[in-house]
Amino acid sequence: MIPDVGSGRRAMYLHVGAPKTGTTFLQSVLWAARDELIGQGLTLPMRKLEDHVRAAQDVRELYDEQQYSPKARGGLDRFAASLPEVATPRALFSMEIVAAATPKQIERFFGVLGDFDVHIIITARDLARQIPSGWQQRVKRRRRTPYDQYLRNVLEDPALTLDFWRSQDVAEVAQRWGEALPPPRVHIVTVPPAGAAPRLLLQRFCAVIGVDPNGLDTEVAVTNSSLSSPQAELMRRVNTALGERLTGRRTGYNQLAKTYLAKTVLAAQGGPALKLPARYADRCRAVSARISADLAAAGYDIVGNLSDLEPTVFGAPNGNLEQFNLDANDENVAESAVQAIATMLVQRHEDLTVIADLRTRLHQAQTAETWAHKQRRRLSMVKDDPALLLDRLPRPGRR
pLDDT recorded at residue 176: 98
Four-residue CA torsion sign, 206, 209, 215, 218: negative
- Phi and psi torsions of 15, nearest 5°: -90, 105
- How far is it, in rounded angstroms, from Cα 67 to Cα 248? 7
The secondary structure element, H or E, covering residue 26 is helix 23-32
Residue 194 pLDDT > 90, yes or no?
A: no
pLDDT recorded at residue 317: 82
What percent of the chain is modeled with pLDDT above 90? 70
Band (pLDDT 50/70/90 cuts) for residue 7 is: low
Average pLDDT of 243-248? 84
Contact 91, 124 (CB under 8 A): no
pLDDT recorded at residue 213: 96
Contact 319, 282 (CB under 8 A): no
- How far is it, in rounded angstroms, from Cα 205 to Cα 92? 11
Average pLDDT of 221-226? 80
Contact 53, 19 (CB under 8 A): no
